[in-house]
Homo-oligomer: A and B are copies of this chain.
Amino acid sequence: MPLQNDLILRTARGEFVERTPVWLMRQAGRILKEYREVRASVGSFKNLVQTPELAAEVTIQPVDILGVDAAIVFSDILEIPQAMGLPYEMVEKRGPIFENTIETVADVEKLIIPDPETELGYVMEAIRLTKKGLNGRVPLIGFAGAPWTIFAYMVEGSGSKTFSKARRMLYTDPMTSEALLQKITDSTIEYLKAQIKAGADMVQIFDSWAGILPPDQYQEFSVRYLAQICHALPEDVPVTLFAKGAFFARQALSQLNCQTIGLDWNMDILESRRIIGPAKTLQGNLDPCVLYGSPETIQEKTIEMLDKFRGSRHIANLGHGVYPDTDPEKVKVFIQTVKEHTMKF
């Protein structure tokens, strides 16, 4: 089925587009009552992720309801550590909790590199069902967590303000740290390749905890592994890197074999373009809190952002996942503003 709307793919590749494509991180889920109904029917977040028919359904919802230019498969970055042998529970108001954590090289050796079609078959099936359901309307984005971010959860065992337990290992046991990062990287490469084979038209790598490392450690314990992933994926599938908080790594990321770099809302657009250069597409970066404002505020701030990206490769998005208590009608104002305003560019 050829794509009827491939704006985001052409933008990622630096080709001509009629207008700026737009989607939202976390668009599937959270804010939509239609999502909450499906979620309630199945009990837990994890059940939903592991039920391909329903995961596909909530993946497609924002395409129908919000009018975004891409779908992103409904899943979680923590499916990978789980498939490697470290299961987690998603605890309401606390986030993910791992029963076991990685402390020694023996713990790393016990982890497997999962076969995506078996251990992560539910994600592949969700992708296939989504592609069928989308029927060529918009491209489908696959995704994974960056090795550093997955490492942080696997060593810390939960979310954290400082991830000081995970970061401690980088100083006290760099060998084990590297062994774990390499195993996550190998698993992630297989996982993303399988997502692409199952139908993902582009992939995004989320380095959610990029911003807690010193610049030299970020280079050594994150960029090095991101480079491997970018290098290993098929040339014709655009890759997006989103390293939240890693303002100090924008230049390093611009050297990697990816098409798009995500900006968070702290990063100045013109400065980022200067640092990254013209050869990458930039994605982002409206402050998610703008969507709490009036329609007029949303229009004004969105246009302000779009005008700063004007004349260079841009995928419109927020600078972070949409916040759970955002009114979907406000999201529509954002999307409509992107579509209308950039049509005039």
Contact = CB atoms under 8 A, between A and B. Distances in A.
Nearest to A320: B162
B289 A167 contact: yes
Which of A171, A215, A217 gathers the greatest number of chain B CB atoms within 10 Å? Answer: A171
Contact of A171 (B211, B245, B293, B323): B293
A172 B247 contact: no
A290 interface: yes
Given A214-B265, A247-B247, A248-B268, A292 B162 contact: no
A5 to B, nearest CB: 30
Nearest to A288: B164
Contacts of A211: 245, 266
Nearest to A305: B214
A171 B290 contact: yes
How many copies make up the complex? 2
Interface in A4-57: none
A319 B216 CA distance: 15
A164 B214 CA distance: 26
A297 interface: yes
A287 B216 CA distance: 11
A276 to B, nearest CB: 16
Chain A: number of interface residues, binned into ranges: 20 to 34
Q: Which 3 pairs across A and B sit closest by C-beta, in order of nearness? A: A171-B293, A168-B292, A167-B289
A292 B214 contact: no
27 contacts: A162-B288, A162-B323, A164-B288, A164-B289, A164-B292, A164-B323, A167-B287, A167-B289, A168-B289, A170-B289, A171-B289, A171-B290, A171-B292, A171-B293, A171-B297, A172-B292, A211-B245, A213-B266, A214-B265, A214-B266, A215-B266, A215-B268, A217-B287, A247-B247, A247-B266, A248-B267, A248-B268
A221 to B, nearest CB: 12
Contacts of A215: 266, 268
A31 to B, nearest CB: 13
A266 B246 CA distance: 8
B248 A293 contact: no
Contacts of A213: 266
Contact of A248 (B164, B247, B319): B247
A148 to B, nearest CB: 14
Which of A214, A217, A293, A297 gathers the greatest number of chain B CB atoms within 10 Å? Answer: A214
Interface in A196-219: 211-215, 217
A40 to B, nearest CB: 24
Which of A212, A248, A292 gathers the greatest number of chain B CB atoms within 10 Å? Answer: A292
A248 B285 CA distance: 15
Which of A289, A292, A293 gathers the greatest number of chain B CB atoms within 10 Å? Answer: A289
Contacts of A171: 289-290, 292-293, 297
